[in-house]
Structure 1
Amino acid sequence: MHAPEKMIFAALVVVLLFPATVGATAMQPAETCLRRCGNIDIPYPFGVGSGCHLETGDWTFSLSCNRTADGRHRLYNYQIEVLDMSVRRGQLRIYSLINPWCYNATTGGMNSQNNWWYNMSITNFRINDALNRFTVVGCNSLAYIRSLNETADRYMTGCMAMCPGVGRLENGSCAGVGCCQTAIPSGLNAYQISFEEKFNNTGDTAGFSPCSYAVLVEAAAFDFRTTYVTTDEFVVANDRQVPLVLDWAIGNKTCDEAKGNASAYACVSGNSECVDSKYGRGKGYLCNCSAGYDGNPYLLNGCHDINECEDKSVRYPCSVPGTCVNTMGGYNCVCPRKTSGNAYSGTCEEDKSQLGWQIAIGVSVGVIILIAAASCAYMVFAKRRLAKIKREYFKQHGGLSLFDEMRSRQGLSFTLFTQEELEEATGRFDERNVIGKGANGTVYKGTTKDGEVVAIKKCRLASERQQKEFGKEMLIVSQINHRYIVKLYGCCLEVEVPMLVYKYIPNGTLYGLIHGRRDRDRDVPRIPFTARLKIAHQTAEALSYLHSWASPPIIHGDVKTSNILLDQDYTAKVSDFGASTLAPTDEAQFVTFVQGTCGYLDPEYMRTCKLTDKSDVYSFGVVLLELLTCRKALNLEELEEEKYLSSQFLLVVGENRLEEMLDPQIKDETSIEVLEQAAELAKQCLEMLGENRPTMREVAEELDRLSKLAQHPWGRQESAELEALLLRGCGSASPTTYSGHSGIQLGSTRNISFSDTAYIGIKSPR
């Protein structure tokens, strides 16, 4: 371990072992406290020395001001050098160390990677995901960043900078040629960075690009220069460090919890308000001055009124000069005496007739009173009528029996939402919040009053049987808790057709990942074969659970790639499995109208109108074909015999021409034997007779076996070109769907090898 690494490690051990203060106290700093270090202001709750900063039991607000040998003053939060801090935004800017990895001409290979790492779990700092980017500079350089959070939600993403030629490098462009950037997740407070050695082609690049660099940096502070690739200017010009933006918060309580302890509550100024941390419950809170006030809410009388009438930094608030009157927390625009008009957005004019003005006022008041009386009467009538309609809908959808069942089952995690709550969450179902439309309804993105981001499905009209059984079936479906099935939070029954509230899944659908539009100007990421098998296996596990373990069993009825969602780790989440699609218990329940999606529908179901678990198996077989071929289940632009993917596949397989349909990428990634076994599984799922198809449990077990087989050396090709396939794609997804055309994001690290794992840290004091 090098000397700087030992210093950081020792400092972190001391911090971790230092006893935390028992009980936070919203103390106030003394007038003698240092409020400036060099040219950096130090606003409270930050401070230098005991009694000058807010004590919260950790090291978030404690600073030290050191004078260096060259006479400059530097500000530190222990081993972290601070650039500046903002009370209003709740942010802190620090220095992040650049991690170089260079070619050694003496040994003819790359030097060892440095063991730098960083952990902020001893503070209430989080790395701002909107303002920072993971950045890699160099030629043929692949680096990874992954979280060290001690939770199950581990995160990892990669970024590769290519160099097809020195002449292709361009100043200011960080789009994959010599430089690449990728986003990081929200709430990250500990991370490590490592280079992938097999991707550094020293023989081709060492002559003009001897070093690669990886760093987490503030996006606005980074400007790529071509000389960063060909020289050591990136390290030298920046003195080995670049800015990084952190978010901070007070303690680990919500606003409501913090207000219960007045002696420790930090929002002490009048005209201040508390805001919960954006990272969720238990992540602390911030204090803001109320609207119309500015200053420091953590100081007594720290928030002072803004004089909007004299504030030169903003536009004069009134349309008529000289009419602004400042008030506490606001202002008024008042026309001068003996004039009338609108000083806010119009003009002020002299009164022509005082009597006429009084008459107009009297008439206006009378009209307003009449209108108000009529409006109140109408509103009372409409409110009573609406309440009656809501009660009828609630009873019609089985709400009374559902409510009684919820009261009898203590601890049941299911919520009955009101129509008003869902309208508020979606902006009154604003079309801008629509994230999906289908045959069964429209899905909106919304945020509940608790800050939970949800997906709200507004169903289409249901049958009379579905309406009667809806409440009972909602109770059954709400108890499904499977890691590969989207969680149902609750529903709204006081409307004509019920609305369902699900957990929001951020990374779109499997359909978008496979068949998204291709960008004309650049290549887009492809899905590795191992990732496709992983998604298929997870989907099969979810359907197997619905068929075999749910009580009573549930048949999905509409399995397709657009109903398979992908979370932040690209884990499959089966959605839209039809809340009332329970397995039939008698022959009479089989007869219904055929519903589903063309291209995925079970031929036996269309012929007999009997929906069974084997219908889901057939639809899953079509999904598996899409993953193998990157073709759509139904393409109306093709010839008649090639419109349906399933029929075209069975024809080609029957003529021993399987390789013609397979996606060219996966043929280069793995052996033909593994692909043939996957295709054989799809063929079994597509059997015309349901009794000849395997169960979803058998399908899941076979996919698990194929996933393990594909990861062994005999199941895939061993070459550097194979790893490069991670940077190409079969459909397109927008850069917001996953890491971007120059980066990769992996939900599992089973296929990635790390030679020497490097840990990036924050620069230690000199």
Structure 2
Amino acid sequence: MLKIRNLGRWFFPLNTVIGLALGVLLLLIGAWWMSKHIKRRKCIQLKKSFFKRNGGLLLQQQLSSSDGSVQKTKIFNSNELEKATDYFNDNRILGHGGQGIVYKGMLADGSIVAVKKSTIVDEEKLEEFINEVVILSQINHRNVVRLLGCCLETDVPLLVYEFIPNGTLSQYLHEQNEDFTLSWESRLRIASEAAGAISYLHSTASIPIYHRDIKSTNILLDEKYRATVADFGTSRSVSIDQTHLTTKVQCTFGYLDPEYFRTSQLTEKSDVYSFGVVLVELLSGKKPIFVAHSLKTMSLAEHFIELMEDSRLFDIIDAQVKGDCTEEEAIVIANLAKRCLNMNGRNRPPMREVAMELEGILLSRNGINIQQMVEVDNSSRSISCSSFEIGIDVPLDCKLLTSSETW
């Protein structure tokens, strides 16, 4: 009997201890759940705040009030893009640019995308930023990278593009690559495709778009090494001038239109100048700013013009393509580049004309005679050419050398 009473004395405090422990455990679980709930609510509120600050409400308004023309614009949520990029893992970085960092991502449906983590958008330019996102998402051209959508519920906007797998034109021109080198014909085709894309943006898109940062690093190559014009600076503000949408992107040194310094305006002819530099890159294999043998830093455009004026075009042709590059083609491309690099923007050809000339050279290379009428109008002359074979009959101000002359 005494033993049972002693056991009872022990059971009472043991039950009390267990009850207290369970109570404390329940309190801790409750506190953890409340803390998690509060954090989740704060996170949701923060996302809503970012979404509003980055122009999400404006975008939703445009989507709901449109006639269906902007339905291609998708608003991604932050969770799916975080998972797609492995939470923006450094191993997923494709490249850095003036407008942000680009990551490779895989969406839930298995599609591969490029996610650009943009720089902070000027809150005073939100309407213009959203207008640009909507317009660029409607671009439908095989040689222009597609903007699939955006995510606005993060600290900085995230822009989602189709993924272009084979890097940039600049990499193949200026970096050693034993696996693949760009032949002369490939360079002509890439130039023609890029020119066609820029021409489309200038004159065929629903609202003319000026890229304003044309350069070899913004020309991507797809799985078949076709050119794709990319990076429209959509994280930067835009201004709408009458019927033209122009992106306010700071052009890269070496490609910048010199007329900009006189007028403080970048126009469609600024794209033409920048493309002229790209043409010289394709001809020469040199960077837009390079170091000469004298260790002097030189502008490729200026160096090219000097050689052209001294009739020393051959000195600048890339050794990798000299064997495949015909004399006539080199002269035609060089003269086209020279016209694009004219100091006076009004004297530069429109991109449509540039694209037609390059396409004609390609067709001529394949032995196709072109039967068409080309009208070229500028301040000094009007020229009509019909039933010509581009690359054999040299257009405009190009002068063919005789077989005995040095080119």
TM-score interval for Structure 1 and Structure 2 normalised by the shorter chain: 0.7 to 0.9
CA contact (8 A) 1:557 1:615 kept: yes
Helix, strand or coil at the partner of 2:321 = helix
Counterpart-to-counterpart distance in 2, 1:380 and 1:639: 67
Aligned: 1:566 with 2:221: yes
What runs of 5+ residues in structure 1 fail to find an aligned partner? 1-357, 715-766
CA contact (8 A) 1:415 1:491 kept: yes
1:374 paired residue number: 31
Aligned: 1:404 with 2:61: yes
4+ residue runs of structure 1 moved beyond 4 angstroms? 358-371, 580-584, 589-592, 636-642
1:440 paired residue number: 99
State the AA in 1 paired with 2:300: L
Counterpart-to-counterpart distance in 2, 1:367 and 1:622: 73
- 1:355-382 deviations in whole A, cap 9, x for unaligned? xxx9999998666545443333333333
Helix, strand or coil at the partner of 2:201 = helix
Helix, strand or coil at the partner of 1:559 = coil
Pick one of 161, 185, 189 that aligns with 1:530.
185
Give runs of aligned pairs for residues 35-50 of structure 1, distance below 5 A.
Answer: none
Cα gap change, 1:393 to 1:633, in 2 (>3 Å): same
CA contact (8 A) 2:99 2:119 kept: yes
2:306 paired residue number: 651
Helix, strand or coil at the partner of 2:159 = strand
Aligned: 1:710 with 2:365: yes
2:164 paired residue number: 505
TM-fit CA distance, 1:539: 0.3
CA contact (8 A) 1:600 1:622 kept: yes
Pick one of 323, 339, 352 that aligns with 1:684.
339
Helix, strand or coil at the partner of 2:363 = helix
Aligned: 1:585 with 2:241: yes
Counterpart-to-counterpart distance in 1, 2:335 and 2:18: 85
CA contact (8 A) 1:417 1:492 kept: yes
2:80 paired residue number: 421
Give runs of aligned pairs for residues 380-391 of structure 1, distance below 5 A.
Answer: 380-391=37-48
1:472 paired residue number: 131
CA contact (8 A) 1:670 1:710 kept: no
CA contact (8 A) 1:626 1:632 kept: yes
Cα gap change, 1:591 to 1:659, in 2 (>3 Å): closer
Pick one of 268, 271, 276 that aligns with 1:621.
276
TM-fit CA distance, 1:636: 5.3
Counterpart-to-counterpart distance in 2, 1:467 and 1:633: 34
1:495 paired residue number: 154
Helix, strand or coil at the partner of 2:88 = coil
TM-fit CA distance, 1:547: 0.9
Give runs of aligned pairs for residues 308-319 of structure 1, distance below 5 A.
Answer: none
Please state which structure has a larger fraction of its residues in strand.
Answer: 1
Counterpart-to-counterpart distance in 2, 1:650 and 1:571: 29
Helix, strand or coil at the partner of 1:456 = strand
Cα gap change, 1:671 to 1:583, in 2 (>3 Å): farther
- 1:6-26 deviations in whole A, cap 9, x for unaligned? xxxxxxxxxxxxxxxxxxxxx
- 1:245-268 deviations in whole A, cap 9, x for unaligned? xxxxxxxxxxxxxxxxxxxxxxxx
Counterpart-to-counterpart distance in 2, 1:413 and 1:463: 25
Cα gap change, 1:421 to 1:701, in 2 (>3 Å): same
CA contact (8 A) 2:220 2:228 kept: yes
TM-fit CA distance, 1:524: 4.9
Pick one of 266, 280, 301 that aligns with 1:611.
266
Helix, strand or coil at the partner of 1:557 = coil
Helix, strand or coil at the partner of 2:148 = strand
State the AA in 1 paired with 2:255: Y
Helix, strand or coil at the partner of 1:667 = coil
Counterpart-to-counterpart distance in 2, 1:567 and 1:361: 67
CA contact (8 A) 1:553 1:583 kept: no
Counterpart-to-counterpart distance in 2, 1:591 and 1:514: 27
Counterpart-to-counterpart distance in 1, 2:346 and 2:294: 31
2:255 paired residue number: 600
State the AA in 1 paired with 2:92: N
Helix, strand or coil at the partner of 1:443 = strand
Counterpart-to-counterpart distance in 2, 1:395 and 1:654: 56
Counterpart-to-counterpart distance in 2, 1:438 and 1:374: 45
Counterpart-to-counterpart distance in 2, 1:636 and 1:399: 46
State the AA in 2 paired with 1:496: D
Give identity over the alignment, percent.
43
Counterpart-to-counterpart distance in 2, 1:599 and 1:365: 72
Counterpart-to-counterpart distance in 2, 1:359 and 1:619: 82
1:486 paired residue number: 145
- 1:135-158 deviations in whole A, cap 9, x for unaligned? xxxxxxxxxxxxxxxxxxxxxxxx
Structure 1-normalised TM-score? 0.43
State the AA in 2 paired with 1:512: Q
Helix, strand or coil at the partner of 2:241 = coil
1:393 paired residue number: 50
- 1:33-70 deviations in whole A, cap 9, x for unaligned? xxxxxxxxxxxxxxxxxxxxxxxxxxxxxxxxxxxxxx
Cα gap change, 1:694 to 1:583, in 2 (>3 Å): farther
What runs of 5+ residues in structure 2 fail to find an aligned partner? 1-14, 370-407
CA contact (8 A) 1:642 1:648 kept: no
Counterpart-to-counterpart distance in 1, 2:23 and 2:262: 71
1:457 paired residue number: 116
Counterpart-to-counterpart distance in 1, 2:68 and 2:110: 24
Please state which structure has a larger fraction of its residues in helix.
Answer: 2
Cα gap change, 1:625 to 1:365, in 2 (>3 Å): farther
TM-fit CA distance, 1:440: 0.8
Counterpart-to-counterpart distance in 2, 1:361 and 1:604: 84
Structure 2-normalised TM-score? 0.78
Counterpart-to-counterpart distance in 2, 1:704 and 1:453: 31
